[in-house]
Amino acid sequence: MYARIDTDELAGALYDEVSVLSVGDILLRRARQHPGRVLFRFLDEQGREEDVLTYGDAWRRSSVIAAELAGQGAAGDRIALFYPAGLDFIVAFLGCLLAGRIAVPLNLPSRRRVDRCQRILRDCGCRQVLTVAALEEGLRDILAVDADLPLAWLATDTLRDEAEVAAVLPPPADDRIAFLQYTSGSTSHPKGVMVSQRNITTNLRMMRNAWELDHRSNTVFWQPHHHDMGLILGQLLPIMLGNETVLMGPNTFVRQPLIWLDAISRYRAVLAGGPNFAYELAAQRWQPGRLEDCDLSSWRIALNGADVVRATTLERFAATFGPLGYRPATMLPCYGLAEATLFVSGGPVSELPRLRSIDARAAESERRVTDDLGGTGRIVVGCGLPSQEIDIAIVDPATGERLEADRLGEIWVSGATNALGYWQLPEQSAAIFAAEIADEPGCRYMRTGDIGFIGADDGQVYICGRMKDLLIVDGRNLHPEDVEYTIIESHPLIKPQSCAVFEDERGEQRRLVAVVEADRELKRALPDIEKVLRMQVRRAVSEEHGVAIADIVFIAPATLRKTTSGKVQRSLMKQLYQQDGLDLLQPVAVSDAV
Amino acid sequence: MSTEHDIADFITAFIADRTGVAANEIEPDENLGSYGLGSMQAVDLVGSLEDRYGVTLPPALVFQYPTVNELSVAVAQRAATAGV
């Protein structure tokens, strides 16, 4: 504690200077100014401090890795990063950036999910992998099945104790690609968002300014580092702030969410957060008598992003943790996406989240937002004011015209935080990242694919849905075609193009629903195999995607609605499902028919 | 004293709550993955069992004992040892 306070002045003095520097450059300056100040602490599964990294350590270790990388390959090479939760990841990531290599942070592949990983490695033309010694052999084994992927391996933790190298020079905050974020594409078509050095610096500055953060704003995060929120917010923002950050693994949080709240209390955190489900889980798992010594009064910003923000969750969380010093105005719903590096809107701080009850019917038919005063409307939560460094436009996706406040349309974003595009996908990049509003030539916007509006009275961004059928489960993006593919592969009697997966968002919990169209053969077999088939489908989907299908319904042959080009009409199937309009196969009726 | 039966009921109710599958559809000797229990929910289940029965469990317990019956026996044994 004393070391932190001693270095506070030094850390605070760099506030203006670091605003325009690359994250590697910021780290160098901070390592020179306050090398002994703690940057990260990592907590183990029981919430005990397992590892510590000071600003000085972080610079030394990442520059050693950078020097090692500089000795092989060339600038711009893509380097995959496979790391367990812990502090080895961040120094490897920064090592890549310092060496001018393009980092590609990836989730650790399991033997079953190796396919997605290999597609990404091929897509980005990766030739080198960084990991830790304990995982290298297992990973080599898993990835060796593909002979077209000759990979060089480096276990960076073996370099941990090496002395600093003098020759490493951080790159400027320019338009060179710093890393690829592969969270947007489907399994079959991975899309790597190209995030530049300038993008990172811009987005970090946007968050710092919007949320009034500085070197005293301690943070606690548990999000995985291969996810944009975990990386940008959890591991890069601290470097710009010069603060002290406590990290833990995602599993630590999910198993004992109260460890997260306890860490906020113990380390006097100002900023902590996660997707909506994190708040739901913590409230669900709290029991009387737990966290008695916990004091959440230091917590000023509880970020809630990457998923739909639910009013019921906000209430429940406040009711549960209010007695521990949590204030409802701490909750800060925000909006962002990897295509904008991360953060787009959120704030101002210390204000209660805005809730609007809107007339869902008027919104759907007229694309106009009108308040529903009868109390039967759909509640939407405001995701804050747009950052001052960007322009948000609500645009009619059909005509490309800008719409006024309280009109529903697609959310478009312009500004220096927009990523450069998708790796080696020039057409898709042009369509998404270089859109122009009708009659406003010369200004490039990024199309988010999200539907929402800007509040007429408060200027906040409200998110109402998505243009594409993307599923968002616990903050992760999931493509319905991937889940449908898994279902089709799970049993030979389920035929290609016979399945629609969507979310049923009625009720408190969103449920995934699969509608499976039977052909004559399946219809005949169904009474005997239905139970087994349901289990097989559920098992395949949970193994492959880690999510549960709450309801599986089988419908009569040739009743799955498709477009003339043969595309499954998921939203129409969802509508029919919700209105009980599906031609369901009843096991009894089927046996009668046979 | 927590019986295997009580633990099994708790696990079944947990699976039903988190996956949306009806409790009466959940069979005691079937792999929990068959009800769509994902890896994150498996960790959530381990933590919930720890809270309820006052034991410390390995995070991968559900993967070692993947059915309601196997898991409830394993938890009951650990709860009994912890209670001594």
Q: Is A474 on the interface with B (CB under 8 A)?
A: yes
CB spacing of A511 vs B20 below 8 angstroms: yes
pLDDT band with cut points at 50, 70 and 90 for residue A593? very low
Instruction: Work out the average pLDDT over A50-76.
Output: 96
Q: Encoding tokens for residue A527?
A: 């009474």
Q: Which of A112, A486, A538 to mutate to probe the B interface, most B CBs <10 Å?
A: A538
- CA triplet A292, A298, A302: central angle to 5 degrees? 95
Q: How far is CA A443 from the centre of its chain?
A: 27
Nearest chain A CA: its distance from B37 CA (Å): 6
Phi (first) and psi of residue A409, to 5 degrees? -165, -170
Q: Across the interface, do A543 and B47 touch by the CB < 8 Å criterion?
A: no
Cα separation of A513 and A436, whole Å?
37
User: Which residues of chain B lie closer than 8 angstroms to A550, CB-CB?
Assistant: 19-21, 36
Calculate the CA dihedral of residues A276, A280, A282, A284 and round it to 10 degrees: -170
A242 dihedral zone (left: phi>0; alpha: psi -120 to 50; beta): left
pLDDT of residue A568: 86
Give me the mean pLDDT over the A465-483 stretch.
80
Domain that holds residue B41: 4-83
Domains, chain A, with CATH or none: 2-255 (3.40.50.12780), 354-466 (2.30.38.10), 479-593 (3.30.300.30)
Between the alpha carbon of residue A154 and those of residues A134, A158, A505, A556, A584, the distances in Å are 12, 9, 45, 54, 55
- Give chain B positions within 8 Å (CB) of A256: 47, 50
Show residues of chain A in contact with B31, CB under 8 Å: 539
Q: What is the pLDDT of residues A106-164, one digit of tens each?
A: 999 877 778 888 889 999 999 999 999 999 999 998 887 666 778 999 999 999 888 88
- How far A408 CA sits from the closest chain B CA (Å)? 32
Separation in Å, CA A514 to CA A188, A339, A554:
20, 29, 9
- Measure the CA dihedral A268/A273/A277/A283, to 10°: 20
Q: Is the pLDDT of residue A2 over 60?
A: no
CA distance B84 to chain A (A): 22
Please give the pLDDT value at position A360: 73
A163-191 pLDDT, tens digit per residue, is 888 789 999 999 999 999 997 777 778 89
Task: Report CA Rg, chain A.
Answer: 25
DSSP string, A338-362: GGGSSEEEE--TTSPPPEEEE-HHH
The 10s digit of each residue's pLDDT in A242-291 is: 999 999 999 999 999 999 999 999 999 999 999 999 999 999 999 888 88
Q: What is the ipTM of this complex?
A: 0.86
- B67: CATH: 1.10.1200.10
Instruction: Using pLDDT thresholds of 50, 70 and 90, give the confidence band for residue A592.
Output: very low
**3-state helix/strand/coil string of A251-291:** HHHHHCHHHHHHHHHHCCCCEEEECHHHHHHHHHHCCCCCC
pLDDT level of residue A375 (50, 70, 90 thresholds) = low
Each residue's pLDDT tens digit, A292-332: 899 999 999 999 998 888 899 999 999 999 999 999 999 99
What are the tokens at B83? 């209670």
Count of domains forming chain B: 1
Distance separating alpha carbons of residues A122 and A476, to the nearest angstrom:
23
Q: What is the CA radius of gyration of chain B?
A: 12
Copy the structure tokens of residue A262: 């306890």
Q: What is the mean pLDDT of residues A13-30?
A: 97
